[in-house]
Amino acid sequence: MNLADPGMDTLRQWLLQRHPHLSSIDDSLDLFENKLIDSINFVEYILIIEELIGREIPFANDLVARTATLRRVWENFLADAVPV
């Protein structure tokens, strides 16, 4: 089950654009283990999340773990963000 949310859609679109061979992305898919995100586009991935929530995300060692799946991005960042 994938969550219906404009922010989540933005991230899905961004991922699908980078991986045209995929037709959909499950919210529970590990994006790092499945190599959908590498160290280069990780930066843009976090920058998009920042823009969606309207605040900067400080450097933290658990940032990879907290953004490994779209569901975790939802739980850790998008769910209680005020729409901007």
Partner 1 sequence: MNSFSKLTLVTENDDFVSRVNKLTSLSRERVRHTFGEISWPDKIDTEAWWLPPELLSVHGTRYEQEMSLEQKKLLSKWECINLFSLNVEGERELVSRLSSRLYQPEVPGLENYLHHFIDEENKHMWFFGEFCRRYGGKIYSSKKMAIAEETYSPEMEYFLLFARIGIFEEIGAYFNVAAASDERMDPFVRQIHQIHHADEARHITFGRALLAQTKELAFASSSAEQRDRAIAHLQRYVQISVEALYQPAMYRDSGISSGVAMRRELLNDGARRKLHEESFLKRPLRFFADLGIHLTANPQ
Provide the binding-site residues for partner 1, judged by CB under 8 A. 32, 37-40, 42-44, 46-48, 50-51, 56-59, 63-64
Distance CA 36, CA 34 (A): 6
Closest approach of Cβ 45 to partner 1, in Å?
A: 9
When the beta carbons of 23 and 51 are compared against partner 1, the nearer one is 51
Closest approach of Cβ 2 to partner 1, in Å?
A: 23
In 1-84, alpha helices (H): 6-18, 39-53, 63-66, 70-73
Closest approach of Cβ 35 to partner 1, in Å?
A: 8
What phi and psi, each to the nearest 5 degrees, are found at residue 6? -60, -40
